[in-house]
Every structure is written in structure tokens, then in C-alpha cells.
Chain A
Amino acid sequence: MLRRTTTILAAGLVAVATGAWSDADDNELVVNDEIEITTQAAAPAHVEGLSEIYSGWRFREVDTQAAQMDDFDNPAFLAVDAAQIKWDTVEGEAGKSCASCHDDVMESMKGVRAVYPKWNETAGEVRTLAMQINACRTENLKAEAYGYTSNDMTAMEALISVPSRGMPMDVAIDGPVQSTWEQGKEMYYTRYGQLELSCSNCHEDNYGNYIRADHLSQGQTNGFPVYRLKNTKLNQVQDRFKGCIRDTRAETFNPGSPEFVALELYVASRGNGLGVEAPSVRN
């Protein structure tokens, strides 16, 4: 029954998509016939180079789009189910599970994904969701940190994102995070590598255009972690940054590095107003 709905929906999408030009299409994203997700919004005032912002979903093929419209079709949900088991399982020397302190993830983590990266007062640092997960693992569970871009990490990020789906991204850019945000902004406009390409060259100046076989989106992060059909797994956002910088024939930065934390904060803020989609599906 659910599958049938998706097929009909997908068929409906084809009609719209073929009518559109190579820019963002006009399709609307509703997940499970229930969660309406904003994929287009007025650009936040702090993004001078764009007037409208679009989710990457709007640039994908119809089949790829459809895979995200029903959790039964979304391959990321295998990882979400696995992470739910981890959430409830005692691990580490403190004899606790995530649930010991946070109970039902679908209740306690509502809205969390939408505001990360954010300032952590106690630690006095900007924390990505991955950093916060590891902080709770090492300090509260007394368990080992997950590898920053490991499957365990992306699965846990995906699980924590689910209750925020549809909520608008709302990352703070001022106060104690401001200097980090400025650093990320500077990186966004830096032309890295032997090809001398900045994030903005592709994702601000050329979104909607094809670069070889790739239909360029705005490089928004509201869908991360992203299940990619290309490598059939969940992809961590900083792994994506790494790939994009590597492709400019540059020496990239490491996931978890202060530079990528700053870049993630800045890029996330460019999507303020877009609905959280994670875990999303892309090619």
C-alpha cells in the first residue's frame, strides 16, 4: 500500500520535473504523506550572494527524490533502526545508555538537529552534532568515541535528526560563535587547489547548471547525513566537504578539524529556513 502511493507520487513528479528547466524543479517534498518539508525559502540576510535558497533535493532525479518520500523506501532507515538499538543499549564503564539520560529520542531530541552546530557553554566551544555525540559517549557513557565519519556516527546522527524533520534550520551565527562563523565564511569564498575553485564558484554562482554529469545544487547541509546511491551508505557532512575540496586538486582538511567545524557552521547557516531533511537521499 505504501509502496503504491510512492509510485503514483513518483509518476506525478515526472510530469512536473520534465516541464522544468535545469534549475531547481518545482516538486514538493512531503515525507510519509505527513511531514511537509520546506525545500525553498528566502535567503537569510547574512547570505549576500543568494536571493532564494533551495534544498539539494530539488536538483535530484525524480527516482532519487521519491526514495526520500517514504521511510520504507529510504535506505537510510536501516541505519536509523540500528542506531535506535544502540541508543537503548548500555555501553561503556558508566553502565549507561543514551536512553538512561535522554529517554525517548523522538521526544528528547526534537529540534536538536535544526540548531547544530552550536555553542556549548560548558566546554566553551562550537560543537557539531557529531562532536556532541562523542562528548556524551566519552564523558557520560565512559565509552569510546566514534570515528568522526564512521557508520556508527552517521547512523546516530541520522536517528537524532529524525524527530527534527520538517523543522526549519535555525543555526545561530552571532555571540560566541561569530568568529568561527566568519572563519567559515572566509573558507567558503576561498579558491582552493590547483583548479582554484571556491565553494561559491560552484554552489552559489552555478547552482542549477550541469558540471559534466553533475547537476549542481546550492550545497546545502539540511539533508545530512545523506544516503548516497553512489556509495550506498550514509555520508557525514564533513566527508562531503572533504570530497568537494579534494576535487579542486587541493590539500583537503580533515573531518573534525577546527576548519571544517567552522565551515560546517557557516554552510549550515546558509540554509537557515530550509526544513531539516536528514536522513536524506541523493545520488
Chain B
Amino acid sequence: MRLSTLTLAMTLAAGVAYANPVAPGDVSYTEYGAIEASLSGAPGDAVNGASVASSRAMGNCVACHKVSSLDAAFQGEVGPSLDGVADRWSESELRGIVANAKKTYEGTIMPSFYKISGFVRPGDAFTGKAAQGELDPLLSAQQIEDVVAFLMTLKAQ
């Protein structure tokens, strides 16, 4: 907890240097859908990533995935359990999966969390109304980094 606060403070202090995230349209994916470099330019915070993954209002990853280390209620089973996922994928690969899983798994049901165009009838969040102006990605560059940092903690032992 102390650690994460510190990281946050450092991020804030660094200000300008880190305030340059790669825009969703400018992300470069490898042939297999990985993203090599941090999207925000800053390291991720695993503690914050855990809450992004649990929260309905943010990643809501547990809607589809079980993660034993999270105490979020009602974890879904549409996707595979994420336990041990860091043994299966590298950090770059996980970043690519979270940002746009369709580059790793063609046609997957998993939403693309760092994408802002190419949608059919995009809405204004959950209002059912048409989106106004440019969409925000489902997660910010830093939230993606935080989730990836959290996923990197999910090792078999």
C-alpha cells in the first residue's frame, strides 16, 4: 500500500515526462499482438491494477475471468481463469491482450480496452444514446499499465 502511494507520488512528481501516453490510434503491435513499450511511459501499479480489474466501472475483468487473489464477488467464467497468467505470457504480450485482445485472438469476445474507433453504433457509455464526439478508450494508458502490472503478479507460486 505504502509502495503504491509512493509510486503514485513519483508519477505525479515526474509530471511532464510521463504525461505523454501513446494515443490508442498510434499503438504499434507486433505480428502476434504484443506491445513492447509502456503505453503511459510510466511503470504500472499492481495494487491499482487489482482494483481496475475488479471494478465494474473500470476493467470489470472479473465479469468474464476468475482471479483467485481478488476478493471481488461473482467472478465470471466466459474467459479462462487468469491464475498463473504471468507464467503463460510475457509483459509485452499481456499489454497487447489487454489493449486489444483481437490482435492476439482473432474474433475474441474480449473487449478491446485501448481502442477508440471501428465500432458499430458506439454509445455514450451505458446510456443507450449515441456517443458524442471522440470516444475515450475503456481504460486509460496508465490503467492498462496498472492492470498489466497486476497480471504480472499472477504466477503459479
Which residues of chain A have a CB within 8 Å of any CB of chain B? 22, 190-197, 201, 205-206, 209-213, 242, 245-252
Contact = CB atoms under 8 A, between A and B. Distances in A.
A250 B109 contact: no
Contacts of B56: 212
B122 A251 contact: yes
A195 B115 CA distance: 10
Interface of B: 56, 60, 62-64, 73-78, 109, 111-112, 119-131, 135, 138
Contacts of A245: 128
Contact of A246 (B63, B74, B76, B128): B128
Contacts of B122: 193-194, 249-251
Contact of A251 (B60, B78, B130): B130
B144 to A, nearest CB: 15
Contacts of B62: 212
A144 B138 CA distance: 44
B59 to A, nearest CB: 12
A210 B109 contact: no
B121 A193 contact: yes
B77 A192 contact: no
B123 A211 contact: no
A22 B62 CA distance: 17
24 contacts: A191-B120, A192-B120, A193-B120, A193-B123, A194-B138, A196-B111, A196-B119, A206-B109, A210-B75, A211-B63, A211-B64, A212-B74, A212-B75, A212-B76, A213-B73, A242-B128, A246-B127, A248-B123, A250-B122, A250-B128, A251-B122, A251-B123, A251-B131, A252-B123
Contacts of B75: 210, 212
A213 B63 CA distance: 8
Contacts of A191: 120
A195 B78 CA distance: 14
Given A192-B120, A205-B109, A250-B120, A213 B74 contact: yes
Given A193-B120, A206-B78, A211-B76, 4 more contacts: A209-B78, A212-B74, A246-B123, A250-B123
